[in-house]
Structures are given as C-alpha cells and as structure tokens.
Amino acid sequence: MGGDLWVRAATGTALVAVTLGAIWLGPVTYTALLSLLVLLGCREFESAWRRIRPMSSFVSRWLLSLVVLVLPAFAMLWMAGIGEGYDPLIPMGWFALMWTNDTGAYLAGRSFGRHKLAPQISPGKTWEGALGGAALTFLMGAWLQWHWGFEAGILCAAMVALFGPLGDLAESLLKRKAGIKDSGQILPGHGGVLDRFDSHFFAAPIAALVLMFF
C-alpha cells in the first residue's frame, strides 16, 4: 500500500510539472500537450467503447472519441486565449482548480465519507467528498482571483465544483459498462489519461460558454 502511494505521488508530481511546464513555455507547447492527451484519451475511449459495442466500426468509435475529447480541449485552448493573446495564468489557474477539487474530494471522502454519491456507478464517491472538494475549490478560486490575477477565479471554481464530478462519474460509468478498472496504464498509480482528465469533460466546455458572456 505504501509503495503504491509513493508511485501515485511521484507520477502525480511529474504530471503536474509537465503540465505547468508546457503551459509556461507558451501556446505551442500547451497546444501540443493537449493534442497528445486527446490522442491518448481517444485511444483509451475507443478501446473501452469497443468492449461495450463490439459490433461498432473502428471509424465510428474514433469519431465518438473525438467528439468527447476534442470539445473540452478546444474549450481549454479558447480560455487560455490561443490566437487572441495567450495568458498562461488562465490555464495554470484552471488546472489548479481541477487538482484542488480532486484533492479535496479525495481527502474529505476518505476522512468523512458516509453517504454514497452514485453507488451504482462509482461506489467510492461520496457526497461528503464532493462537498469537501467544492469547498476547497472555491477557496482556491478566491485566492486565484484576489491574489494571483485570475479574474474569473471564483466563476471557474463554480464550474469545476459543479461539473467536474459529472465528468468523473461519466468516465466511471464508461469503465463500469466496459468492465475495466482503469482506462489505461500509461500513468502508474493513476491509470490512464481519461482517469486523470475526466473532470474536464463537462466543466471546460461549460466554463468556456459562461466566460463568453462574462
């Protein structure tokens, strides 16, 4: 158990470092990172969907994968100002909110989790974990907005807290239907790309849509 925890921590730290490094280096590396994640995620989604619908065609599975993954990726690029004046603070803030939500939900769920959020889909998730993640996310959003210059910090925190767990549950349902524990094995201790970036599925497009009118 201890070894697994260390592997998970090391992989998570490396993932955070790579993500922040790609964002900081500029729009080209950030776009390349998201493109790579989309391709890897599509491969995982296609593999899972093949288990669910074995008679579906290879082309239809990949088209569905692209629909699911390209939309949040484009939303994240749009929020960062790709093509209109790239601002690394925005994607850094966005990922910080996502990581905070995941961490808060994990810690609160382990410490206080009693009431199941969606036991038929993901038995490990609880209402206490979701509320703990939301509370910590709003605190991070307030700090980003008032002390770090991320003007939409609280608004984005609301989108992450509300819609991040829905993406997580959607991916859990996909895995349950496919009969797999993890979407892949590319991230030791974490599973696959979809396992780490499922929270963006709904939150990123909805946040981008809201920010268009902000």
Task: Express each pLDDT in 137-174 by its tens digit.
Answer: 999 999 999 988 788 899 999 999 999 999 999 999 99
Map residue 45 onto helix, strand or coil: helix
pLDDT of residue 213: 82
pLDDT (0 to 100) of residue 99: 94
Q: What mean pLDDT comes out for the span 19-47?
A: 96
Average pLDDT over residues 194-214: 91
Average pLDDT over residues 91-119: 92
Q: What is the pLDDT of residue 3?
A: 55
Model confidence band, residue 207 (pLDDT cutoffs 50, 70, 90): very high
Chain CA centroid to CA 74, Å: 14
Average pLDDT over residues 56-74: 93
- Cβ atoms of residues 199 and 168 within 8 Å: yes
- Rounded CA gap, 65 and 56, in Å? 13
- How many Å from the N-terminal Cα to the C-terminal Cα in the chain? 45
Give the whole-angstrom CA distance, residue 175 versus residue 124: 14
* Per-residue pLDDT at 46 exceeds 90: yes
Per-residue pLDDT averaged across 47-55, rounded?
Answer: 95
Give the burial class of 111: count Cβ atoms within 10 A of its Cβ; 0-12 exposed, 13-18 middle, 19 or more buried.
Answer: exposed
DSSP 190: T
